[in-house]
Structure 1
Protein backbone atom coordinates (compact mmCIF):
# COMPACT_ATOMS: atom_id res chain seq x y z
CA UNK A 1 0.00 0.00 0.00
CA UNK A 2 1.40 3.35 -0.99
CA UNK A 3 1.50 6.28 1.38
CA UNK A 4 -0.21 9.60 0.77
CA UNK A 5 3.17 11.15 0.02
CA UNK A 6 3.91 8.46 -2.60
CA UNK A 7 0.48 8.91 -4.19
CA UNK A 8 1.04 12.66 -4.46
CA UNK A 9 4.48 12.05 -5.93
CA UNK A 10 3.01 9.76 -8.61
CA UNK A 11 0.33 12.34 -9.45
CA UNK A 12 2.92 15.08 -9.86
CA UNK A 13 5.10 12.81 -11.96
CA UNK A 14 2.19 11.90 -14.25
CA UNK A 15 1.38 15.56 -14.82
CA UNK A 16 5.01 16.49 -15.43
CA UNK A 17 5.51 13.61 -17.86
CA UNK A 18 2.40 14.52 -19.84
CA UNK A 19 3.30 18.22 -19.87
CA UNK A 20 6.77 17.34 -21.12
CA UNK A 21 5.26 15.18 -23.84
CA UNK A 22 3.10 18.07 -25.03
CA UNK A 23 6.17 20.25 -25.25
CA UNK A 24 7.66 17.57 -27.54
CA UNK A 25 4.48 17.59 -29.68
CA UNK A 26 3.21 14.28 -28.31
CA UNK A 27 -0.24 14.91 -26.85
CA UNK A 28 -0.81 11.27 -25.83
CA UNK A 29 1.44 8.95 -23.88
CA UNK A 30 0.95 5.21 -23.67
CA UNK A 31 0.21 3.86 -20.22
CA UNK A 32 3.13 1.43 -20.50
CA UNK A 33 5.55 4.23 -21.39
CA UNK A 34 4.28 6.33 -18.50
CA UNK A 35 4.45 3.41 -16.06
CA UNK A 36 8.03 2.59 -17.08
CA UNK A 37 9.14 6.24 -16.92
CA UNK A 38 7.69 6.62 -13.42
CA UNK A 39 8.78 3.17 -12.29
CA UNK A 40 5.27 2.71 -10.94
CA UNK A 41 3.18 -0.39 -10.56
CA UNK A 42 0.03 -0.75 -12.68
CA UNK A 43 -2.02 -0.20 -9.52
CA UNK A 44 -0.19 2.98 -8.50
CA UNK A 45 -0.38 4.42 -12.01
CA UNK A 46 -4.08 3.58 -12.27
CA UNK A 47 -4.75 5.20 -8.88
CA UNK A 48 -2.86 8.37 -9.84
CA UNK A 49 -4.67 8.56 -13.17
CA UNK A 50 -8.07 7.96 -11.59
CA UNK A 51 -7.47 10.83 -9.18
CA UNK A 52 -6.28 13.19 -11.92
CA UNK A 53 -9.25 12.29 -14.14
CA UNK A 54 -11.52 13.18 -11.23
CA UNK A 55 -9.80 16.56 -10.99
CA UNK A 56 -10.38 17.12 -14.72
CA UNK A 57 -6.65 17.38 -15.44
CA UNK A 58 -6.16 14.32 -17.67
CA UNK A 59 -8.10 11.94 -19.88
CA UNK A 60 -7.42 8.22 -19.95
CA UNK A 61 -8.38 5.42 -22.29
CA UNK A 62 -8.45 2.31 -20.11
CA UNK A 63 -7.55 -1.24 -21.04
CA UNK A 64 -9.86 -4.11 -20.21
CA UNK A 65 -7.58 -4.76 -17.23
CA UNK A 66 -8.33 -1.28 -15.78
CA UNK A 67 -4.87 0.07 -16.53
CA UNK A 68 -4.19 3.18 -18.63
CA UNK A 69 -3.80 2.47 -22.35
CA UNK A 70 -3.24 6.12 -23.30
CA UNK A 71 -3.11 9.23 -21.16
CA UNK A 72 -3.23 12.92 -22.10
CA UNK A 73 -3.63 16.29 -20.44
CA UNK A 74 -6.93 18.11 -20.76
CA UNK A 75 -7.06 21.81 -21.54
CA UNK A 76 -7.49 22.41 -17.79
CA UNK A 77 -4.49 20.19 -17.16
CA UNK A 78 -2.36 22.23 -19.51
CA UNK A 79 -3.49 25.47 -17.87
CA UNK A 80 -2.78 23.97 -14.44
CA UNK A 81 0.74 22.99 -15.45
CA UNK A 82 1.37 26.39 -17.05
CA UNK A 83 0.29 28.07 -13.81
CA UNK A 84 2.56 25.73 -11.84
CA UNK A 85 5.44 26.54 -14.16
CA UNK A 86 4.84 30.30 -13.88
CA UNK A 87 4.56 30.18 -10.09
CA UNK A 88 7.51 27.83 -9.81
CA UNK A 89 5.72 25.91 -7.06
CA UNK A 90 5.52 22.47 -8.69
CA UNK A 91 2.84 21.31 -6.27
CA UNK A 92 -0.34 19.38 -7.16
CA UNK A 93 -3.03 17.10 -5.67
Structure 2
Protein backbone atom coordinates (compact mmCIF):
# COMPACT_ATOMS: atom_id res chain seq x y z
CA UNK A 1 0.00 0.00 0.00
CA UNK A 2 1.31 3.40 -0.98
CA UNK A 3 1.80 5.80 1.92
CA UNK A 4 0.66 9.41 1.96
CA UNK A 5 4.27 10.56 1.78
CA UNK A 6 4.89 8.38 -1.30
CA UNK A 7 1.73 9.68 -3.01
CA UNK A 8 2.84 13.27 -2.42
CA UNK A 9 6.32 12.44 -3.71
CA UNK A 10 4.82 10.89 -6.86
CA UNK A 11 2.59 13.92 -7.49
CA UNK A 12 5.51 16.30 -7.00
CA UNK A 13 7.67 14.27 -9.39
CA UNK A 14 4.95 14.35 -12.05
CA UNK A 15 4.54 18.11 -11.68
CA UNK A 16 8.31 18.66 -11.93
CA UNK A 17 8.55 16.41 -14.99
CA UNK A 18 5.67 18.16 -16.76
CA UNK A 19 7.02 21.59 -15.87
CA UNK A 20 10.41 20.60 -17.28
CA UNK A 21 8.68 19.56 -20.50
CA UNK A 22 6.98 22.96 -20.72
CA UNK A 23 10.35 24.67 -20.27
CA UNK A 24 11.70 22.57 -23.17
CA UNK A 25 8.73 23.60 -25.33
CA UNK A 26 7.19 20.12 -25.17
CA UNK A 27 4.03 20.75 -23.18
CA UNK A 28 2.56 17.26 -23.61
CA UNK A 29 4.24 14.16 -22.22
CA UNK A 30 3.23 10.59 -23.01
CA UNK A 31 2.14 8.43 -20.12
CA UNK A 32 4.79 5.90 -21.09
CA UNK A 33 7.52 8.55 -20.93
CA UNK A 34 6.28 9.68 -17.49
CA UNK A 35 6.18 6.12 -16.20
CA UNK A 36 9.64 5.32 -17.56
CA UNK A 37 11.30 8.56 -16.43
CA UNK A 38 9.82 8.45 -12.94
CA UNK A 39 9.86 4.65 -12.64
CA UNK A 40 6.34 4.54 -11.24
CA UNK A 41 4.00 1.57 -11.35
CA UNK A 42 0.97 2.13 -13.60
CA UNK A 43 -1.46 2.16 -10.65
CA UNK A 44 0.49 4.84 -8.78
CA UNK A 45 0.99 6.93 -11.92
CA UNK A 46 -2.72 6.75 -12.72
CA UNK A 47 -3.73 7.65 -9.16
CA UNK A 48 -1.35 10.60 -9.02
CA UNK A 49 -2.44 11.91 -12.43
CA UNK A 50 -6.12 11.55 -11.50
CA UNK A 51 -5.54 13.51 -8.28
CA UNK A 52 -3.63 16.28 -10.06
CA UNK A 53 -6.31 16.45 -12.76
CA UNK A 54 -9.03 16.75 -10.10
CA UNK A 55 -7.06 19.63 -8.58
CA UNK A 56 -6.97 21.33 -12.00
CA UNK A 57 -3.17 21.22 -12.23
CA UNK A 58 -2.84 18.76 -15.11
CA UNK A 59 -4.85 17.66 -18.13
CA UNK A 60 -4.80 13.94 -18.86
CA UNK A 61 -5.93 11.92 -21.86
CA UNK A 62 -6.66 8.40 -20.65
CA UNK A 63 -6.19 5.09 -22.42
CA UNK A 64 -8.91 2.47 -22.43
CA UNK A 65 -6.96 0.77 -19.60
CA UNK A 66 -7.36 3.88 -17.39
CA UNK A 67 -3.68 4.81 -17.61
CA UNK A 68 -2.44 8.18 -18.86
CA UNK A 69 -1.95 8.31 -22.63
CA UNK A 70 -0.67 11.89 -22.34
CA UNK A 71 -0.42 14.49 -19.61
CA UNK A 72 0.28 18.21 -19.60
CA UNK A 73 0.22 21.05 -17.13
CA UNK A 74 -2.81 23.30 -17.24
CA UNK A 75 -2.43 27.06 -17.02
CA UNK A 76 -3.21 26.73 -13.32
CA UNK A 77 -0.54 24.03 -13.03
CA UNK A 78 2.07 26.29 -14.60
CA UNK A 79 1.11 29.13 -12.26
CA UNK A 80 1.30 26.75 -9.31
CA UNK A 81 4.78 25.60 -10.30
CA UNK A 82 5.97 29.17 -10.76
CA UNK A 83 4.66 30.17 -7.33
CA UNK A 84 5.65 27.10 -5.32
CA UNK A 85 8.94 25.51 -4.47
CA UNK A 86 8.44 21.76 -4.68
CA UNK A 87 12.07 20.80 -4.72
CA UNK A 88 11.73 18.78 -1.51
CA UNK A 89 9.26 16.34 -0.01
CA UNK A 90 7.38 19.17 1.69
CA UNK A 91 6.00 20.22 -1.72
CA UNK A 92 2.37 20.77 -2.56
CA UNK A 93 -0.44 19.11 -0.73
CA UNK A 94 -1.85 18.45 -4.19
Q: Under a length normalisation based on structure 1, what TM-score does the superposition of the two structures give?
A: 0.94
What SS does the corresponding residue of 1:71 show, helix, strand or coil? Answer: strand
Q: Which residue of 1 aligns with 2:32?
A: 32
Aligned residues: 89
1:32 & 1:6 partners in 2: Cα distance? 20
2:37 & 2:3 partners in 1: Cα distance? 20
CA deviation map 1:15-66 (0-9, x unaligned) = 0000000000001000000011111000000000000001000000000000
Structure 1: give runs of 5+ residues left out of the alignment.
none
Structure 2: give runs of 5+ residues left out of the alignment.
none
What SS does the corresponding residue of 1:44 show, helix, strand or coil? Answer: helix
Instruction: Give the aligned CA root-mean-square deviation in angstroms.
Output: 0.6
Q: Which runs of 4+ in 1 moved over 4 A?
A: none
> Which one has a larger percent helix, Structure 1 or Structure 2?
1
2:9 & 2:39 partners in 1: Cα distance? 12
